[in-house]
Amino acid sequence: MEKNLKRFAAIILLMAALFSAACRNLPGTAGPVSGTGSSTAIAKGFGGDVSVTVTVKDGRITDVTALGPQETQGIGSNAIDRLPPAMVAVNSVKVDSVSGATNTSRAILSAASRAYAAATGQPLALANVKMAPGTYTNPVWAFSVNTRMEVAVTVSENRILAIDVKNNDETLPILRSAKELLIPRILEGQSISIDAITGATGSSSGIRSGVALALEQALAAGGSDPSAIENFQVTPAKVTGVTRTLDYDILVIGMGGSGSAAAMSAAETQKAAGRNVSVLAIDKAGKYGGTSSVTSEMMAINPPRFMAAHNNEVAKVQLGVFARPLPDTRRNKSVYVERSVLKQAWLEYTEGDAKEDLLDLMLDHSGETLDWLVNEHGFVFGLPQLGVEPSATYYVVFQYNGSFMDNKHLIIAYFDKLYDDYLKLGGKYMLETEAYELIYDQAGGKVVGAKARSVDGTEYIINAKSVVLATGGFAGNGEMTSTLLSEKYFPLQGTWNQVGMHQNDGKMIQSALNIGAGTYNIGMTPIVHIGGGRQLIHDFETTTVRVNGQDRPYALNDIPMIMAISGNVLSVSKRAERFSDESGLGFLEPWKGGPEFYSIWSQDQIDKVRSKGFDTVTVGAFISQGGVPTGYPISNIDEVINAAIAHGISCKADTLEGLARQLKIDPAKLAATVQKYNGYCNTGVDADFHKAKEFLVPLGSSGPYYAFLGAPYCYSTTGGLDVNTSLQVLRSGSTAPIPGLYASGTDCLGVLLTEKKAYVTYGGLAQGWAFTSGKLAGASAARSAN
């Protein structure tokens, strides 16, 4: 979308006119300095590192650039866009923060001060620290989208003494690693410029924000200059020049569901064979469990011991998004599901693309895998139920603990028990250790280990006879999803929003591709259940309103999401074409539009919302802040729309052609799509996607027009590496394996699916395949490592 460059340029010129003379004596200005040079410094923003380069010529700042690829688009990115030109305009690195982007602004200002000092050859002059001792408590946004996290910070006159996380709605396994790892490092380093804990970035960022706010308050109360906070923004040095070599029989890369199962199984296999256990598992995150520790269910086919223990009974109530009574519709009640019937349906759904021998592996071993988790390692699952889709008919879904969403403290306890068992056998693991390259013996044509790097900078050469990849796919890597996902059936390329683990960046999948690994359905759609706005906002306080005698949530922050996935408007993909019945954009259908889609509103539709409210309200499950009541007038809808435009998740134009150009989609195609859709609305029959008549509302014939950016939220990519029934990775274009290399979980889930459709509808497959393929891969890797 186009930026308001003229308005911004005018602001910069005005700033320059007002401050050009006065700035000669401001701290951090180049006026009294005659140096020439350029330097770069780094500070921690909300999402990660923010680097700032300052260039000075003859004592004047001539250029400032800032980079922060992990900062939130439309929030932190605003500071990255605005502060550098403001610094050049006033010839000073001391400028005001950008409202709403405090954390990124703070990082830019700190890094700019250090870069300026280095560029001019001047010592960095830090203001003296004097804080008012006490405890300062602030609510901050962290991982949870609807509840702020309270961070209490106790300080002396010059030190941070204690940090405590109080009321919060964070996900327990994620918050636990941030509390156990990040807080001690902040206290030890007396710095907020500490790396976020991988796998807990949201919670880490919230803690750092809370500490920063407390420091600002304590410094102000103590009479210190605001810039004194830079004393607490020193980035600790990393270890350099240190390389350690480790030797193991089996290396498991990734400690989510599949990696945990692989490591445990490998250790058990070695122990059962009377061999010394020589298994190392590593993960770049600060916790084990991965996405498997924050999801809900796994697929398993007729677990024999579980069935016997529960007299073949199935659940009487469907848990989950569509909770409902569950009648037992099985024809053969001696099993949970008839294997042959499910297999036939699976092969038909995947149109023959699923590898039948791998499907047999899943059908024949997932049940015994669930039994293994339950009986050998203390996991607890409820009775089997159906998948989340209303069309699901097979009893193959097992919820952790027989509960839904309120059980994360129990799930992480299951993984704690699994790793206790693993350590007792002699297995080893290392967290915050990122593998980045396979070690490939060119002469022997085999994988013999991997290179890795610890969070402290230590390099590792890990020699191993077998390497198991269990890295969770590549949804966290926008470059890979922009090149490897297919455009053949759906417009899938681009960067995807996630509800899964952002550290799953596909680095080791790419390393496997680099040595000639084959792929299978790698271009298919990621795993998607829910849809929402492209970005969630927190500009407005959530309140309640009285409707029909009841207090109802009134979350204006959800309105851009509601307008992006509303069932009664027209939505198009980047191809400027409809892609689905819009009433399914909130659940199950949004992936068909690719990583980003556009819902079009006319001015008369906006006016109706202002005066009468929404006819229908849809919000994304797990990502809403409460929604708004239907039929309740949104009198300040324009304020909300302006906020959405400022965040880059909406745009406005007088004509459809102008709107298309802002969205960078084909204007002629959009015009044709609108004409066709309005025709369906007039007849009440949607010939393309069969949307119900009550949702067929025509787009108004006069502007202005608005677009709201919607997005599917994915758990993981689905397609990946090609494997055989021993979970060995195959060479590209061949059935021959790459010796020493195995894959499990979503790194190879594509072998069970098809690029022509989404993830299968039976429920829990990714989790079931993670545990099943991990267990089998670990055993295979151990048997070959002798």
Per-residue pLDDT of 297-347, as tens digits, reads 999 999 999 999 999 999 999 887 778 899 999 999 999 999 999 999 999
Pairing relationship of beta strands 60-67 and 49-57 according to DSSP bridges: antiparallel
- Alpha-carbon gap, residue 753 to 760, rounded angstroms: 7
Average pLDDT over residues 198-227: 95
- Alpha-carbon gap, residue 244 to 249, rounded angstroms: 17
Residue 384 contacts residue 398 (beta carbons within 8 Å): yes
Average pLDDT over residues 294-298: 91
Least confident of 16-30, 36-50, 268-282, 741-755: 16-30
Evaluate if residue 218 carries a pLDDT over 90. Answer: yes
- Alpha-carbon gap, residue 577 to 411, rounded angstroms: 42
* Burial (CB count <10 Å: 0-12, 13-18, 19+), residue 10: exposed
pLDDT of 449 reads 99
What domains does the chain contain, in order, with CATH numbers?
5-120 (3.90.1010.20), 134-232 (3.90.1010.20), 245-526+717-784 (3.50.50.60), 528-715 (3.90.700.10)
- Alpha-carbon gap, residue 561 to 283, rounded angstroms: 34
Average pLDDT over residues 509-525: 98
pLDDT of 47 reads 80
Evaluate if residue 26 carries a pLDDT over 50. Answer: no
pLDDT of 34 reads 63
- C-alpha separations of 458 from 3, 288, 504 in Å: 43, 20, 21
pLDDT of 87 reads 96
Evaluate if residue 198 carries a pLDDT over 90. Answer: yes
Per-residue pLDDT of 118-144, as tens digits, reads 999 888 888 999 999 999 999 999 999
User: Could you say which DSSP state residue 400 is in?
Assistant: B
Evaluate if residue 390 carries a pLDDT over 90. Answer: no
Evaluate if residue 33 carries a pLDDT over 80. Answer: no
Residue 36 contacts residue 58 (beta carbons within 8 Å): yes
What pTM did the predictor assign?
0.91
Per-residue pLDDT of 645-670, as tens digits, reads 999 999 999 999 999 999 999 999 99
Of 584, 578, 583, 618, nearest to 598 by C-alpha is 578
DSSP reduced 3-state for 623: coil
pLDDT of 7 reads 38
